Chains A and B, each alone.
Chain A
Amino acid sequence: MSVLIYILVMAGSTYLIRMIPFTLFRKKIRSRFFRSVLYYIPYAVLSAMTFPAIFYSTENVITSVIGCVVAVVLAYLNQPLIVVALSASAAALLAGLVF
């Protein structure tokens, strides 16, 4: 299938998800359950996307694991996003020189 079709479908769905509620909705969602699900969805998505895929994000599982550990430790220490992301990459790069 043409990549262009994928891109159009992807962009169209992402846009409609934003546009329909922004244009039509004027009231607040009252259901606490539904609001809770929406609140948790981003964390659930990111967690599921990251593990175990992060272990295969470089050519070598060992360097990926080292980068992952560095990311987890720095994130736990509340470092900014960019610091965590680039440090993970730097750690994987340095580990690649050894392993």
Chain B
Amino acid sequence: MKLNFTKGMKDGIPIALGYLSVSFGFGILAASLGLTVLQAVGISASNLTSAGQVAGVGIIAAGGTLIEMVLTQLVINIRYSLMAISLSQKLDDSFTTPHRMAVAFGITDEIFAVASAQKGKITPRYMYGLIAVSAVGWTLGTFLGASAGQILPEALNDAMGIVLYGMFVAIVIPPARAHKGVLAVAAVAVGCSVLFYYVFTAVSSGFAIIICAVIAAVVGAILFPVEDEEEEEGGGQP
């Protein structure tokens, strides 16, 4: 099938459905931290990234510094750079620099995975279709979640606070079962994070995540360097 806008939109539907429920959880989280519906939706529409947004609203709620915000986004989202490099090798000739600059906005784990799986070179139109549908799902879910915070019973609202963390668990555990390196990295990161949370409490949560993630990834890279074919698997969240 030709890689046109319609094909992109079709391929985006399953991504959008997955994003709906996850971003619903983000919306609830953002509202519970005191952000307005408009602010929560604005964050989702302008970022399109789950882990980065969760850390970001945490920094906003804690009144963190802008440097902390930039560094946190850099570390959490650095994987997109790798995906962007990988995807840049698969673009057809119509991908001019303006198209590259526009499509770059929508590089998420799922969009990268679906685009990479296409046979042959990918076109700008296909990417726009894929990103448009996925982004609508992500933003709409955030709107519903942030609005629901005021409508849902408190017990239900409270229980939804665990949704995003549940998703993070679901992303890490299956590869950790199959791959010693991922297991080691996850164990080091959790140990480090627990240490910062209970012992080095003076360090803010954003910096603790950066420090722990870098230490754990470097330990993993030294002890369990990856083979060529593993690098593009990535996580499972946007």
Contacts and interface: CB of A to CB of B under 8 A. Distances in A.
Contacts of B216: 40, 43-44, 47-48
B139 to A, nearest CB: 13
B78 A88 contact: no
A3 to B, nearest CB: 5
A26 B97 CA distance: 12
Interface residues of B, number: 105
Interface string B20-31: 011001000000
Given A17-B77, A43-B189, A76-B173, A81 B18 contact: yes
B74 interface: yes
B50 to A, nearest CB: 9
B192 A41 contact: no
B198 to A, nearest CB: 8
Contacts of A46: 51, 168, 171-172, 235, 237
B226 interface: yes
Contacts of A37: 217-218, 220-221
Contact of A28 (B66, B78, B81, B89): B89
A88 B217 contact: no
B232 to A, nearest CB: 9
A67 B182 contact: no
Nearest to A34: B221
A14 B169 CA distance: 23
Q: Is the interface of A mostly helix, strand, loop or mixed?
A: helix
B93 interface: no
Contacts, number: 302
Interface string A48-92: 111111100111000110011001101110111110111111101
Interface in B50-80: 51-56, 59-60, 63, 66, 69-70, 73-80
Given A9-B66, A46-B235, A75 B89 contact: no
A38 B82 contact: yes
**Looking at A6, A46, A49, A87, which has the most chain B CB atoms within 10 Å of its CB?**
A46
**Looking at A13, A68, A90, which has the most chain B CB atoms within 10 Å of its CB?**
A13
A90 to B, nearest CB: 7
B70 A22 contact: no
B94 interface: no
Closest 6 CB pairs of A and B: A88-B166, A36-B221, A93-B159, A84-B170, A11-B46, A22-B84
Interface of A: 1, 3, 5-7, 9-11, 13-15, 17-23, 25-26, 28-29, 32-54, 57-59, 63-64, 67-68, 71-72, 74-76, 78-82, 84-90, 92-93, 96-97
